[in-house]
Structure 1
Amino acid sequence: MPEFWSNVGSIFWYTLTIIIFVSYLMVLFNIVIDVFRDRELNGGVRAVWVIALIFFPVITALIYLIVRGRGMGQRAAVQAERNKAAADEYIRSVAGSPADEIARAKALLDAGTISNEEYSRLKAKALA
């Protein structure tokens, strides 16, 4: 029975260690992403942050989060808005308007490809 409890304790500590390590990696990756996302930083400052993260990762991460942590959320929100706007613009460009759908259906009707009933169904579908 004592072996069981020592194994449970080991599993608990290994699990806790893995969770902390993965959290640490996520913080480092988010800091690197934020360094390159910030358009106000010049190349030299970016290089200093990255080199400091490589040689003194824990201290640099803590300093970065204290000094620039508030801006990280703001920059992430701005980037999310840009991505959403780009996706919306792409969807609008691909989807077309109801007038475009009706014009295509009219061209198919004029070419004799579809019948009047099919044209009215496509027109009703585009206007719905």
Structure 2
Amino acid sequence: MKESTAQLLAVDYPLLNMFWTMMLCFLWVLWFMLLFRVIGDIFRDDGMNGWGKAGWTIFVILLPYLGVLVYLIARGRGMGERELKRARRQEEAFRSYVRESAGTSNHAEALSRLAELKDHGDITAVEYDQAKAKVLAS
């Protein structure tokens, strides 16, 4: 008896209906991704004042489909440009951090080289102090 019920459930839901259900789930997830992208862009935009952000947020929350569509028409081009600027700023900050981190290891190498020169008697203590101050200043 249970076997026939399971077979009936499998037959009751044809392949085309399963495809349609998957398509609706995909579109639902896509809609939420777009909605969150627009809301994120509203809050990340440094050029917009607080009232503008509040107005767009209320518009997008109260009338989501119309609000997102109007936002994409009015400010869609700027979304990509703002995202590109933000990515460039992050990349530059990362490169600056790497340069600073690598620079400290160069300082350590230079100081150890100076210490070796001083220990071998190739430079005097005064020259060592001057070179050390120069390395630490840069």
Q: In which range does the TM-score fall when normalised by the shorter chain? A: 0.7 to 0.9
Q: What amino acid maps onto 1:9 in structure 2?
A: L
Aligned residues, how many?
A: 112
Q: Could you tell me how far apart the structure 2 residues matched to 1:52 and 1:60 are?
A: 5
Aligned with residue 100 of structure 1, among 94, 107, 117: 107
Runs of 4+ in 1 over 4 A off after TM superposition: 1-5, 107-110
How far does residue 104 in structure 1 lie from its aligned partner after superposition? 4.8
Q: Could you tell me how far apart the structure 2 residues matched to 1:5 and 1:93 are?
A: 66
SS in 1 for 2:13: helix
TM-score (norm 1): 0.73
Q: What amino acid maps onto 1:17 in structure 2?
A: L
Alignment of 1:69-108 (within 5 A): 69-96=76-103, 99-106=106-113
Q: Could you tell me how far apart the structure 1 residues matched to 2:102 and 2:12 are?
A: 61
Deviations 1:58-113 (A, max 9, x none): 00000000011011111111111101011111111112267425325437858x9x
The structure with the largest alpha-carbon Rg is 2
Instruction: Give unpaired runs (5+ residues) of structure 2.
Output: 1-6, 120-138
Higher RCO (CA < 8 A, seq sep 6+):
1
Q: What amino acid maps onto 1:59 in structure 2?
A: L
Q: What amino acid maps onto 2:61 in structure 1?
A: I
Q: Could you tell me how far apart the structure 1 residues matched to 2:20 and 2:84 are?
A: 36
Q: Could you tell me how far apart the structure 2 residues matched to 1:96 and 1:102 are?
A: 10
TM-align CA RMSD: 2.7
